[in-house]
Structure 1
Amino acid sequence: MPTTTPAPDAPLYIVLNAGSGAAETDERRAAIEAVLRAAGRRFHIELVDDPERIDQQAKAQAERARADGAILVAAGGDGTINAVARQAVEHGCPFGALPQGTFNYFGRTHGIPQDLTDAVHALLRASVRPVQIGTVNGRIFLVNASIGLYPKLLEEREHDKRQFGRSRLVAALSALKTLVLPHRRLRLSLEAEGKEIHLRTSTLFVGNNRLQMEQVGLTDVTPAVADGELAALAPKPVGRLRMLLLMARGALGLLADTDDLVAFGFRRMTVRTPRYGRKRLKAAVDGEVLHLTAPLQFEALAGKLLLLVPAPGDAVSG
């Protein structure tokens, strides 16, 4: 894809999520300000302390960025990055990310350092590269979107993290708890690339992140999302023990060796619920749980996000 370099003095409008607590937020803000002031770069930091207002605040900063020839930047986890990137796409702004979440699939895929100071330095030397996004019913996602068991798993994980702290161990134990509890299976009709698939599954997962596919061992099964496709994954109807084994295989990067999973790549896909028609479905979109109305329309859109990616010397491997 073509790359361009933004103006050296382009202002940075940064949307910073304050959800991690006052002390940590102040520390992150100070780290960002120190690097940018030392570089003599113009910037504004918009602090989001109410998750309900992030869309409104991100939109306001995107409008300013478009008017001022500025760069719109998200500082936070995948949900924050998604919300700000959505406004960057709608307003045609160059977009930078300072990832601060637990898994950081988006940032790691594009070589963005997780250390905040390093990430800000990398942002100052970055160039713009158009990258692919996914959409479901017009809602963009950078990493994944899903229905069924996975949104429930995310809701339980957030509840447990609030109670026991944010760590990968808490996330793993919370997922295990959700998997062993009873759950309903979906009846779905999928139409993609001229083919129709009928299936019963506990969850339908659509990925737009090659690193995530690599970590579960599916890059040989599903086409590379970098080539303009999304990856659809759905476990076949199995008992709890086989579901746990399936999840264990995913954790070990061995999903390519199982027959208990439907996996394929696509550019456009329609998902219907034949039994319920226009049913409202709980969905997870880059970690945010919301409701969407069936049929669901998934699509890969190449080059829609004008992402600032680190220079080779600043990039880190995922």
Structure 2
Amino acid sequence: MQHFSARNGCHRWWNRFAPRGFTMDTRQFERGTMGNKACAIINRKSGRGSDEESFAQTLKLLEDRGVEAILLKKPADMAKAVDEAVAKGFDPIIAAGGDGTICGVTEALRGKGPRLGVLPLGTFNYFARSLGLPEDAEKALDVALNGADSTLSFGEINGKVFLNNASIGAYAAVLEVREDIYKNWGRSRLAAYWSVIVAMATLYRSLKMKITVDGKVHQMRSPVAFVAIRAYQLAEFDLEGVEEIEDGKMALLAARDSGRWMLLWRAMRIFFRGARKGQDYVLLSGKEIDIETSAARRFARDGERERMAGPYRFRLKENAIPIRVPHPEENEA
């Protein structure tokens, strides 16, 4: 990790739509009262922050606002960086990056007290957009420093945090292809969409799954099981499950098992907001979801892929950590 002091510019190495799930504390809507010093944990490789010019602009913005900047050299540094920030008394601790970075900071921060701030620097920024955060970095940083205090709910898959969604099956394969495409084309939404087409055309594996939702068992075959806890991304692609999430449940979408080319066609229907429940996917919803498959599988959470042995237990953790969000009047404007 690399640490930049916004106070004196020196640096040193050190080892280190109002969405459901947020509750507003109206007693704390006073602006500009930042009792503790803030820090930002930055993922240099996140979408908009990955080029030199954008990275320099981010550091300058943080320095101008008196925010300590902590650079991650590798994802494995995340937990240590958060622990050291907590020990130094930073509050809020700002996650500067894409959804994967914000998820990592959230996981490391749970149960430790300081408020989470969000500076979205990723390609899609679904989580930040679900909070109503502005896309402009300076305005988003202002929310992290002076916004309303609220609480954040998140999901867990076998104890690992996710903020938007987690899935097993084909989507993890898409992310693997996406990283290769990013290396050649750079990070962009167009490259991300193209990776879906490439992956669906070349990779297909149907999974036999036993899915238990709030005690009710469902047997099915599907290439992917996608569990969402925020409505924003589903609404953007005109997928069902929004009402279920707003009712405090998780939404599980499983694609129909109909072969590689039909899966590709259905992916295209999602892009063009034409996918339909029953015809293209199955929707289940509940507060507890368990998925059993025959062997360990790749899984993905908030755009980052990993490996994990099943069974996969999805749980919703309500009002789990404090977070800074826009003031209500800002979202109404």
TM above 0.5, yes or no, is yes
Q: Give the aligned partner of residue 250 of structure 2.
A: 230
Q: How does 1:10-25 map to 2 (within 5 A)?
A: 10-19=36-45, 20-25=50-55
SS in 1 for 2:168: strand
Whether the 8 Å CA contact 1:208–1:231 is kept in 2: the answer is yes
Q: Give the aligned partner of residue 310 of structure 2.
A: 294
SS in 2 for 1:255: coil
Query: 1:230-253 CA distances to partner (integer Å, 9 max, x unpaired)?
Result: 110110111333222311221122
Q: Give the aligned partner of residue 53 of structure 1.
A: 77
Distance 2:76 2:212 in 1: 34
Greater shift after overlay, 51-60 or 127-136?
A: 51-60
Deviation at 1:129, TM superposition (A): 1.3
Deviation at 1:113, TM superposition (A): 1.3
Deviation at 1:59, TM superposition (A): 2.9
Q: Residues 314, 123 of structure 1: CA spacing in aligned structure 2 closer, same or farther, 3 A cutoff? A: farther
Q: Give the aligned partner of residue 99 of structure 1.
A: 120
Deviation at 1:140, TM superposition (A): 0.6
Whether the 8 Å CA contact 2:169–2:224 is kept in 1: the answer is yes
Q: Give the aligned partner of residue 59 of structure 2.
A: 29
Query: 1:189-214 CA distances to partner (integer Å, 9 max, x unpaired)?
Result: 01111210111111111112211110
What 5-or-longer segments of structure 1 have no aligned partner? Answer: 38-42
Aligned length in residues = 303
1:261 corresponds to 2:285: no
Distance 1:51 1:316 in 2: 36
What 5-or-longer segments of structure 2 have no aligned partner? Answer: 1-22
Deviation at 1:22, TM superposition (A): 4.2
Q: How does 1:242-261 map to 2 (within 5 A)?
A: 242-256=262-276, 258-261=278-281
Amino acid at match of 1:205: F
Q: 2:143 aligns with which of 117, 122, 130?
A: 122
- Percent identical among aligned pairs is 27
Whether the 8 Å CA contact 1:228–1:301 is kept in 2: the answer is no
Distance 1:222 1:210 in 2: 5
Deviation at 1:271, TM superposition (A): 1.0
Q: How does 1:152-167 map to 2 (within 5 A)?
A: 152-167=173-188
Q: Residues 309, 18 of structure 1: CA spacing in aligned structure 2 closer, same or farther, 3 A cutoff? A: same
User: For the aligned residues, what is the CA RMSD?
Assistant: 2.1
Deviation at 1:258, TM superposition (A): 5.0
Amino acid at match of 1:310: P
Deviation at 1:272, TM superposition (A): 1.0
1:85 corresponds to 2:109: no
